[in-house]
Structure 1
Amino acid sequence: MPYVGRMRISPKYDVAGGVGDLWTELKRPQPYRWPILFASCALTGLGLYPFIKERVYPPPPKPDIVYLTSFAPDRTDAEIIASNVENQERKEARQRLLDAQIEKRREMYRALGQATGIDTDKMEAEIAAEKAREEAAEKARLEQATGGAGNDSADDRSE
């Protein structure tokens, strides 16, 4: 059975002897004992100060996950289709509004260009040609990447 008793840090160190020596030195009548003691404590405090100031923040708690369902689980296929049609109509209405805003902005820039003497028709033709080149390059890149498979699927969707 192992020995269970008071554990010591090491048999080499005698804390009681060190404390006794400190007390003996403090009892001696020396003119600089208190300033030396204060300076020793201050240096020790300055050495420990950065560690005392250090703040360690724990990681935030894990959030509670709440699942929200926006659709009734017992919807019929007809209700799902009607909801999809309604959403598609709203999406198309937003796109028409956005297109109208873009066209209005283009008209304002055309008017500004004509007022300042810029050939807006020529600029629009250059922009359209550049866009056509970019689309052709993208189409060629896709054909090369896919080996020519599925070339007309993107054209069918846009019609």
Structure 2
Amino acid sequence: MRFRTRFNAVGGISDFIEQWRRPTPYRWPILAASFLVSGSLMFWVTQEKYYYPPEQPEVTYITTFAEGRTDEEIRQSNIENQRQKDEREAEQARLLERRRELYKEVGAATGLDVDAMEAQIEADEAAEAEAERQRLERLFGEREDRSETTVETDSE
């Protein structure tokens, strides 16, 4: 049996023509709706959008320093900034100490053993500092050991 004889389009085309020739009242609106739907779908599918990369911004640098400062002016400015920083840190330390004193007073007024709590806090802070020192020693001590061994091998 041949493939061509099994699937013959002549019968289908003749049936379509016969149905098309029948006088149906909604033939043209249905045909228009069919074209509109399939045309809209094809239009939507075949659109290509291209997004351009954004333009590079124009950078304007704003500086608060004078254009032609001398090294001495820079040094004086650095000294003044360091003085202000030291004053701020001293004020923060003073406020922190005042806060600790107030907490001690409140704790003593409520019947807590403030001295034992302070000793425990100091012990915890000392343990944390020692752990951090050991961690840094392990990290940087290995580097120093390696650099010493490389120096020793180079000198030999």
TM-score (norm 1): 0.57
When the two structures are aligned, how many residues end up with a matched partner? 123
Partner of residue 85, structure 1: 79
Q: Which has the higher helix share?
A: 2
Write the mapping of 1:9-158 to structure 2, written as runs, cut at 5 A: 29-34=23-28, 36-37=30-31, 39-40=33-34, 43-44=37-38, 60-147=54-141
Partner of residue 12, structure 2: none
CA-CA distance at 1:36 after TM superposition = 2.5
Q: Structure 1, residues 23-59: CA drift from partner, whole Å, max 9, x if none?
A: xx999742232552465367548858x88xxx99765
CA-CA distance at 1:96 after TM superposition = 1.5
TM-score (norm 2): 0.58
Cα distance change on mapping 1:140 and 1:33 into 2, 3 Å? same
CA-CA distance at 1:61 after TM superposition = 3.5
Q: More deviation in 105-114 or 27-36?
A: 27-36
- Identify unmatched segments of 5+ residues in structure 1: 1-24, 151-159
Quote the Cα distance in structure 2 between the aligned partners of 1:66 and 1:75.
Answer: 20
SS in 1 for 2:69: coil
Quote the Cα distance in structure 1 between the aligned partners of 2:133 and 2:66.
Answer: 42
SS in 1 for 2:64: coil
SS in 2 for 1:147: helix
Cα distance change on mapping 1:80 and 1:114 into 2, 3 Å? same
Sequence identity (%): 46
CA-CA distance at 1:113 after TM superposition = 2.0
Cα distance change on mapping 1:30 and 1:74 into 2, 3 Å? same
Quote the Cα distance in structure 2 between the aligned partners of 1:46 and 1:123.
Answer: 78
- 1:110–1:120 Cα contact (<8 Å) kept: yes
